[in-house]
Amino acid sequence: MLFLEKDKDELAKLKREQLAADLKEGWGGGSLGKTVAIKLEENDGPDGFELNYEPPDAGGWDEVKGVNVKINRRAYNHIVERGVFGTRYNGSDKITVQNDMPDF
């Protein structure tokens, strides 16, 4: 799950620029030593999401240095309207982008 910080207006920033952050484990977990970047860009991915790992030839999760997520205008509009939007890829994995952290 990717959370955009509402108080920093990251959803609006996403229209203009790529956003990047450290990838962290679970709720309040530590850094995984990888980065995640999200960008508004046209793509042919399912439901408007495209996911790529860096480097592209990584042999497994331990070799991955970063995750790049592209969302198209349709996916972006769903996030604006609903506050959250996601898709499944690779058969069972899921990626979701949410505008703001949930209240628990």
Residue 85 near residue 78 (C-beta atoms within 8 A) = yes
- Grouping H, G, I as helix, E, B as strand and the rest as coil, residue 88 is strand
Boundaries of every domain in the chain: 2-99
Chain centroid, CA 21 distance in Å: 10
Cβ-count burial of 91 within 10 angstroms (0-12 exposed, 13-18 middle, 19+ buried)?
exposed
> pLDDT tens digits for 5-44?
888 999 999 999 999 999 888 767 788 899 999 999 999 8
Torsion of CA 52, 43, 26, 102, to 10 degrees: 170
CA-to-CA distance for 99 and 5, rounded, in angstroms? 7
pTM: 0.84
